[in-house]
Amino acid sequence: MLLKLVDGMDKNGLLSDDTGHILTGYIGSESFLRAVVTMVRKMKAVNSQVRYVCDPVLGDIGRFYVPQQLVQVYKDEIIPLADVLTPNQFEVEQLTGVRIENMEHAQKACCILHDVGVPLVLITSIVFPTSDQQSQDSMAIFASERIHGIETESYEDEQQILYVPKLPGQFTGTGDIVAALWLALTANSSALSLGQKLEQLAGTMNAIVGRTYRASLEKLQKQGINSLEEPKDEATRKKIVQSREMQLIQSANDILNPPIRFKATKISER
Q: Tens digit of pLDDT for each residue in 139-193?
A: 999 999 998 767 667 788 899 999 999 888 888 899 999 999 999 999 976 789 9
Q: Which has more confidence, 94 or 189?
A: 94
**CA atoms of 255 and 34, how far apart (whole Å):** 33
**CA atoms of 5 and 9, how far apart (whole Å):** 6
242: pLDDT strictly greater than 90: no
133: pLDDT strictly greater than 70: no
* Lowest-pLDDT range of 40-54, 93-107, 110-124, 213-227: 213-227
Q: Give long-range contacts, CB 8 A cutoff, 24+ apart: 106-112.
A: 106/140, 106/142, 106/159, 106/161, 107/144, 107/157, 107/159, 107/267, 107/268, 110/142, 110/144, 110/157, 110/159, 111/144, 111/157, 111/270
130: pLDDT strictly greater than 70: no
10: pLDDT strictly greater than 80: no
Q: Which has more confidence, 226 or 55?
A: 55
In 3D space, the residue among 74, 73, 69, 119 whose CA is nearest the CA of residue 92 turns out to be: 74
Percent of the chain having pLDDT more than 70? Answer: 92
Per-residue pLDDT of 193-237, as tens digits, reads 999 999 999 999 999 999 999 999 888 888 888 766 667 788 888
DSSP letter (8 states) at residue 251: G
**What pLDDT score was predicted for residue 81?**
97
**What pLDDT score was predicted for residue 269?**
52
If one counts every other C-beta atom within 10 angstroms of the C-beta of residue 156, the result is 12
**What pLDDT score was predicted for residue 223?**
85
Q: Which has more confidence, 118 or 230?
A: 118
80: pLDDT strictly greater than 70: yes
Mean pLDDT along residues 232-256 = 89
**What pLDDT score was predicted for residue 4?**
81
User: How much is the pTM?
Assistant: 0.90
49: pLDDT strictly greater than 80: yes
Q: Which has more confidence, 232 or 82?
A: 82
256: pLDDT strictly greater than 50: yes
Between vectors from CA 61 to CA 57 and to CA 64, what angle results, nearest 5°? Answer: 45
**What pLDDT score was predicted for residue 132?**
56
Out of 10, 60, 157, 176, pick the active-site residue.
176
**What pLDDT score was predicted for residue 61?**
86
Task: Please say if 7 is a catalytic residue.
Answer: no
12: pLDDT strictly greater than 50: yes
The mean pLDDT value of the chain amounts to 89
